[in-house]
Homo-oligomer: A and B are copies of this chain.
Amino acid sequence: MKKVNICIVGLGLIGGSFGLSFRKLPYIQKIIGVDHSDEHAKEALRLGLIDEIRPLKEAIQEADVVLVATPVNVIVNQLTDILDQVDQQVVFDVGSTKKNIIDSVKDHRNKKRFVPCHPMAGTEFSGPSAAKEHLYQDKYNVICNPDQCDEDALIMVERILTDIGMHLMYQDAAEHDVQVAYVSHISHISAFALALTVLHKEKSEERIFQLASGGFRSSVRLAKSNPRTWAPIFEQNRDAVMDVLDEHITVLSKFRSLLIKKDFEQFSDLMTEANEIKRILNKKNHNQEHNEYTRII
């Protein structure tokens, strides 16, 4: 494979971790960084996430592949501008919602150069300093509506993501948005709400710290996440998130109702039913490997 230059737009946790991951690919010649914050860009350079900082326009011109890793509301606003400047470059994004992003360029002449992606990986931290080299290792990446991409663009993105250790899956964008609402987005709202519940109830920080066991810590971990990343995700995926949140409140209300009725037998049955998640999450990655290259749409 010939050497390629790759440009990363947005140098936070997600973009920065891609920079570190790309370092081990022998065919990546240069990693060019773009960020609207000079401070972030310089930090990314200093941390070795990128090789050089360039303005967006120059970076696109010099790149063979453009990775867009900004918050989803920014992607919706900037993707048209990026595709305007594209000739034969491949563009892919890594936003957590897909339908609005795809729709934002649905009439663009270069839309087939764009491969919509969502890597199922992240942490509760943000900014270039949060970047992790192995963030994407053995994680799944969803590619949405692959039939609408140029074949060479799709193959390039598949090659790069596979080479950094990701497993690929393929989904319709609307279906993706609904499914991530309940496998990812609702977990964040739940954690934010749990943290607020505790903060409202307990005014002694010392006491929270002392009583917080590992269980509580893992439940509220996502409440540390950056609102600048997450508010746009909830906005872009509002309908699906509302639906799942409503269902979640219904389930919690069922638990409340059983407590009111002192029906601990049915309470127990519901917990046993929830235990089922253990069997599903304990599966081995390897069981899925044969699916990696099966495009399901």
> Chain A interface (Cβ within 8 Å of chain B)?
120-124, 139-140, 142, 167, 169, 179-180, 182-184, 186-202, 205-225, 227-228, 230-232, 234-235, 238, 241-242, 244-249, 251-253, 255-256, 259-260, 262, 264, 267-268, 270-278, 280-281, 283, 288, 291
Contacts and interface: CB of A to CB of B under 8 A. Distances in A.
B187 A219 contact: yes
Given A192-B271, A271-B230, A202 B223 contact: no
24 contacts: A121-B214, A179-B207, A179-B211, A183-B212, A183-B216, A184-B213, A187-B216, A187-B220, A190-B190, A192-B270, A193-B255, A197-B251, A205-B280, A215-B221, A218-B219, A225-B275, A230-B271, A231-B268, A231-B271, A235-B262, A238-B259, A241-B259, A249-B249, A249-B256
Contacts of A184: 211, 213, 215-216
A288 B249 contact: no
**Chief secondary structure at chain A's binding surface:** helix
A123 to B, nearest CB: 7
A284 to B, nearest CB: 10
Q: How many copies does the complex hold?
A: 2
Contacts of A201: 182, 244, 247
A3 to B, nearest CB: 32
